Structure 1
Amino acid sequence: MRRFPAVLAIAALAATAGLAASGGPSPVAAAAATPPNIVFVLVDDLAWNLVQYMPSVKRLQSDGTTFTDYTVADSLCCPSRSSIFTGKFPHDTGVFTNESPDGGFAVFHDRGNEAHTFATALQAQGYTTAFMGKYLNGYLPKDLYTPPGWTEWYGAGNAYGEYDYNLNENGTLVHYGDTDADYLTDVVGAKGRSFIKRTAAAHKPFLLEISTFAPHAPFTPARSDLDKFPGLTAPHTPAWDTRPTGAPAWLAGNGPLTAAEIEKINTDYRKRAQAVQAVDRMITGLRQQLTDSGVTGSTYVVFSSDNGFHMGDHRLVEGKQTAFDHDVVVPLVIAGPNVPGAVSRPQAVQNIDLAPTFQRIGGAPVAGDVDGRSLLTLASGGQTAPWRTASLIEHHGPGASPDDPDVQDARNGMPTTYAALRTATYTYVEYDDGEHEYYDRTTDPYQLTNAYDTLPAARRTTLHADLNALQHCHTDTTCWAAGHTS
């Protein structure tokens, strides 16, 4: 077997410390024999307010580290997933939307991004890799295309309804119907457990990504969960049904929520809570399989979402794509070797950091044109040098074709093209049409007062320069420097 000196050191340290994702002792022999495994569960449109209904995720938090200031570089499915795969901002992947010519699978593929993902890097290191579930918007399983880097591939296309869908299963198109056994989250969960069992038995390091469609609209729960949470209604934060003062033009026309809109929001929020029950059971099953296979102590388990979701906040009905926290700040939990339990990290981390993290876990080199940085040292509590202080959010809009599953109207939230700078204390937004937003989140945590007009000219100049530097960074070195704002 190929040697993995960097990751062997990590595994040996984890074995010595006796740290495991389940809180129990690590099997020393297994840790010393192979580099760590990775199980990555990525869910679709999950906001922080759903985690309270996911006991398995809360157990994962108890067993690992939660990043409380984790943001996505674009609050939209395909751009966010593109950044996760590559470790690059949208301005470097070229994927800003879900469809060509400004995004989608075709742009990601045609620009050569698929040749430079964490999957290709880990496969080159000897990992057995598997992908299951939702890939990128525009991917068609009927084409029987498998992207590079994946040893096993179970890719779906438009399977948001969770029933009656097709999977490209390693080059064979397989149809799933409308029975309880066909529910997609359960299907990929079973395939994930099988993959772990088979690969662990072969004593090979593995990477497994399971990417669910849940809880994305139409918010389809498993039938066994349809009676859960009776009477549950959407949470009312101070931003509920409240338009910010000084709102940009795309939002300024939104009036109060209607009774019908509120009723739909409450119904859909309950369905979303029901839909994540299957995801939560899936996580329990995956972690149990890791234990049964004897690889818990040598496996990192990572849970996250591609973007957040608003439901009634800021007089927006249901959607994403904005620079408000409810759309860009999402869960990230990491448990595994040498990762302390029940710990929170406040640093400004982003989805561009996941690819280099996975590559460092596997001992793979990280190219200089990757914009993110590995979180491995942060997760293990060893970070002493200052982390970046600012995150970049990029978005192109408005508009999408009617068949885009994320199409939004002005009522749902349809911002024009913008770039945003987010730090621990403020959010600054520049729109291509010349408008600006500035929210001081130390005094206005729910972003209800656009204070841009009150800023001194010198402060505006500094904010623009800081944002511009991040928008035009293209390497680890330049993006890291630009992320340390003045």
Structure 2
Amino acid sequence: MSTWARRCAALVACLLVLAAACGVGDDFGKPRKGVVSPGGPKPNIVFVLTDDLSWDLVQYMPRVKKMREQGVTFSNFIATNTLCCPSRATILSGKYPHNTQVLTNEPPNGGWQRFNSNGGERDTFATTMESSGYRTALMGKYLNGYDPSKVQAGSQAFVPPGWTEWYATSLGYRHYDYTLSENGKAVRYGNRPTDYLTDVLSGKAVDFVNRSTTSRPFLLKLSTFAPHAPFKPAPRHANLFPGVQAPRGPAFNEPDISDKPKWMQAWPRIGPKGIQTIDAKYRGRVQMVQAVDEMIGRVQQALADRGLDKNTYIVFGSDNGFHMGQHRLVEGKGTAYDPDVRVPLIVTGPGVPAGRTVDRLTANTDLRPTFEELAGVKTAPKADGRSLVPFLRGQKVRSWRNSVLIEHAGPVSDPSDPDYPGRGWGNPPSYMAVRTTNELYIEYDAGEREYYDLRVDLGSRQNMAAQLPVPRRDQLSGLLAALKECAGAACRSADQGT
């Protein structure tokens, strides 16, 4: 072969390799400007995880709304358990609650103690990413039961593996008079305005970013207690939104709940005073998220000031949602209905398409695989979720799940549990549910069932379980049975079809 022919052959080979790398000719479309090259610097990740933040609060968060304009919104992102600790254990591990064995907020079936004793902390996105060279930090809420003022390892508070920097507690619900473990040292905060927890976390996050360089990537998990009860806003926000009311959706103070399961049927309609209370508490939630929104803005500015913004993904989400007045339930969570399980997930970053909404069913099991793929880290095969990176790169995804498992071990019976329900909140017994693209199907341990066709009943007002054709009922029940026993690849297979 002549020298010219050899050069032509080499050029063709190079072009083929380049085309394959860029996705030319496959169903992933053209490469997008700004996508981080696999051989380039690894991206930073800022993960803002809020507590009990429902979709109806996003409209009051201007920076989060701007993120929606700049990035991808996952409109059907499902929490696989609506209690704080089980959901957060799932987020860390990428596993359903039945695989983390963290089913509640408190021992023996849940809490930090369960996650710790099961070895869950040794296999999280933090451990894999730190071992791959990432600088990792958690700031704010960890898992229920982790108390830096009591949990000691020698002379220091326990710091889980995988975290390069650690500023955490699980007892910051009142936003004042709390103790943070600051890299193992228990530090007490008081009740001055400057001690407001969301603002403290904001300052620590900015400091973390300011100490970052382009030579070592980082993952920062900012885990707020807002807007969890008792709905304490920062002083500067306490008088904002004086006329705001809780949304009056189709299920608000539902007139007829005779079709609902027995645990709900005893609830009377909410009277005027009860509705006033709902509005006042909703206003407190709206006020609380102002500090979260400002925190996001401060972090975004710090990233820009350091020249890190072009190579940083910002992920905004919540561990679970929150109901306020739907189905006559005054407030709370724990149900399988959308206000509790369908929560925001919004992502901006390099190569992320602007203003796009993904309506595919996604879940909190997917966050670990997503972070790890962004970081170029191979996800452990035991993870139950799937990476969302193809959606973040604007790729076409032909095969995707159309069902998600929702698990609940109830009722909540420990008065010390921060999710212990108050009067009129609702406290459902144990159930398993499957959420498909257009349906919600629930099986309670006692044998009761619920079924809602979400194409025509977005508020889940009319329980059609008794009218559900037997073949479809058996199909959904079989899918539910497969999902509640699945692990790893079996979860990713079992949830593909209905």
TM-score (norm 1): 0.93
Q: CA deviation at 1:200?
A: 2.3
What is the correspondence of 1:396-411 to structure 2 with a 5 Å cutoff?
A: 396-409=409-422, 411=424
2:6 paired residue number: none
2:494 paired residue number: 482
Q: CA deviation at 1:33?
A: 5.4
2:239 paired residue number: 227
Letter of the 1:113 counterpart: G
1:51 paired residue number: 58
Deviations 1:408-440 (A, max 9, x none): 157201111001011111100000000000001
Percent identity among equivalent residues? 47
1:68 aligns with 2:75: yes
Alignment check: 8 A CA contact 2:390 2:397 kept: no
CA distance, structure 1, for counterparts of residue 456 and residue 265 of structure 2 = 22
Determine which of 429, 435, 442 is the counterpart of 1:422: 435
Letter of the 2:252 counterpart: W
1:241 paired residue number: 253
Task: Structure 1: give runs of 5+ residues left out of the alignment.
Answer: 1-8, 11-15, 21-25
Alignment check: 8 A CA contact 2:94 2:366 kept: yes
2:464 paired residue number: 451
Q: CA deviation at 1:258?
A: 2.2
CA distance, structure 2, for counterparts of residue 410 and residue 225 of structure 1 = 28
CA distance, structure 1, for counterparts of residue 140 and residue 224 of structure 2 = 6
Q: CA deviation at 1:233?
A: 1.2
Alignment check: 8 A CA contact 1:392 1:471 kept: yes
Alignment check: 8 A CA contact 1:439 1:447 kept: yes
1:462 aligns with 2:475: yes
CA distance, structure 1, for counterparts of residue 423 and residue 405 of structure 2 = 24
Q: CA deviation at 1:176?
A: 1.0
1:156 paired residue number: 169
1:209 paired residue number: 221
Deviates more, 1:47-56 or 1:288-297: 288-297
Report the CA distance shift for 1:46/1:320 in structure 2 as closer, same or farther (over 3 A): same
Q: CA deviation at 1:244?
A: 3.7
1:302 aligns with 2:315: yes
Q: CA deviation at 1:338?
A: 1.1
Determine which of 206, 218, 227 is the counterpart of 2:230: 218
1:442 aligns with 2:449: no
SS in 2 for 1:42: strand
Alignment check: 8 A CA contact 1:250 1:410 kept: no
CA distance, structure 2, for counterparts of residue 354 and residue 75 of structure 1 = 16
CA distance, structure 2, for counterparts of residue 197 and residue 278 of structure 1 = 20
1:317 aligns with 2:324: no
1:111 aligns with 2:123: no
CA distance, structure 1, for counterparts of residue 196 and residue 213 of structure 2 = 26
Determine which of 382, 386, 397 is the counterpart of 1:369: 382
2:201 paired residue number: 188
Deviates more, 1:401-410 or 1:33-42: 401-410
Alignment check: 8 A CA contact 2:412 2:419 kept: no
Determine which of 277, 288, 302 is the counterpart of 1:264: 277
RMSD: 1.6
Report the CA distance shift for 1:278/1:32 in structure 2 as closer, same or farther (over 3 A): farther
Q: CA deviation at 1:462?
A: 1.0
Deviations 1:444-464 (A, max 9, x none): 111001000001222221111
Q: CA deviation at 1:245?
A: 4.3
Alignment check: 8 A CA contact 1:131 1:155 kept: yes
SS in 2 for 1:189: helix
Q: CA deviation at 1:485?
A: 2.5
1:174 paired residue number: 187
CA distance, structure 2, for counterparts of residue 249 and residue 136 of structure 1 = 32
Deviations 1:129-154 (A, max 9, x none): 00000000111011211011000000
Report the CA distance shift for 1:410/1:225 in structure 2 as closer, same or farther (over 3 A): closer
1:254 paired residue number: 267
**Higher Rg of the two aligned structures:** 2
CA distance, structure 2, for counterparts of residue 107 and residue 295 of structure 1 = 37
CA distance, structure 2, for counterparts of residue 464 and residue 107 of structure 1 = 29
Alignment check: 8 A CA contact 1:89 1:352 kept: yes
CA distance, structure 2, for counterparts of residue 17 and residue 196 of structure 1 = 27
2:16 paired residue number: none
CA distance, structure 1, for counterparts of residue 32 and residue 94 of structure 2 = 30
CA distance, structure 2, for counterparts of residue 399 and residue 210 of structure 1 = 27
Alignment check: 8 A CA contact 1:133 1:211 kept: yes
Letter of the 2:72 counterpart: T
Q: CA deviation at 1:32?
A: 6.8
Determine which of 92, 97, 104 is the counterpart of 1:97: 104
Equivalent pairs, count: 463
Task: Structure 2: give runs of 5+ residues left out of the alignment.
Answer: 1-20, 23-30, 152-156
Q: CA deviation at 1:384?
A: 2.7
Deviations 1:200-250 (A, max 9, x none): 26x210000010000000011000001100121111001010054410011
CA distance, structure 2, for counterparts of residue 468 and residue 127 of structure 1 = 38
CA distance, structure 2, for counterparts of residue 200 and residue 53 of structure 1 = 33
TM-score (norm 2): 0.91
